Amino acid sequence: MELLTEMIPGIARFGSLMNMGNSAASASWKEIEKAARSNGIRAQLYDVRNSDDLRAAFVKASKQRADAINVDLNTVIQSNLKLIVELAAKYTIPTIYSSGDFVDADGLVSYSPSYPDLYRRAAGLVDKVFKGAKPADLSAEQPAKFELVLNARAAKAPGLTILQVILFRVDRMIG
């Protein structure tokens, strides 16, 4: 939310694409609503369970004049990566993604855990198990490293001006 308010000063309406059929989505949506409220932003949920829902969500977001859209990460979203990026461009709605893969496919920006870092840390846990540690004795870990990926070319399409303060925080720039 902080990133979006810095990228889009005066943001008032914010949409979130989520598959509410996913049991984890409800808790995530509550956190998004809470963050939006605390920033004076109206959050709108777009429940997407298939590609037709995605098209309808972008039409609805456009009609509701959403200033930006957040894209959650789940199998429906991941399997429709190119379609989502195309719809965001078609409706010129700045969109933030939960994976750099979307930015690699010409999406605007992502803020997500560093997946290479997660894999490295997972390998360390597997190594401990191979060396005799019991999996039940290993502590659960949260992501420790996050990446901000920005597509400068895509930022020009909706007419955004990326502030220098954001550019300094970018871990990977495309375009």
Q: What is the residue range of 24's domain? A: 2-113+146-174
In a domain, 9, yes or no: yes
Is residue 34 assigned to a domain?
yes
- As a 3-state breakdown, the chain gives helix, strand, coil percent values, each rounded to 5, of 45, 20, 35
pLDDT digits (tens, 9 = 90+) for 154-171: 887 766 777 777 888 889
The encoded tokens of residue 44 equal 């709108």
pTM: predicted TM-score of the whole model, two decimal places: 0.85
- Amino acid letter at 30? K
Over the stretch 80-132, which tens digit does the pLDDT of each residue have?
999 999 999 999 999 999 999 999 999 999 999 988 899 999 999 999 999 99
- pLDDT of 115: 86
> Which DSSP string do the residues of 84-118 spell out, in sequence order?
HHHHHHHTT--EEESSHHHHHTT-SEEEEE-HHHH
pLDDT digits (tens, 9 = 90+) for 12-32: 999 999 999 998 899 999 999
Q: What is the pLDDT of residues 119-158, one digit of tens each?
A: 999 999 999 999 999 999 998 888 889 999 999 888 877 6
What is the phi/psi pair of residue 43, to 5°? -95, 140
Nearest to 6 by CA among 148, 102, 171: 148
At 159 the pLDDT is 67
The pLDDT of residue 2: 80
Summarised one tens digit per residue, pLDDT across range 18-68 is: 999 998 899 999 999 999 999 899 999 999 999 899 999 999 999 999 999
DSSP classification of residue 107: -
Nearest in space to 170 (alpha carbons), one of 89, 81, 110, 113: 110
CATH of the domain at 53: 3.40.50.2300
Overall number of domains in the chain: 1
Q: Is residue 69 a contact partner of residue 61, using CB atoms and an 8 Å limit? A: yes
Share of residues in the chain with pLDDT > 70 (%): 99
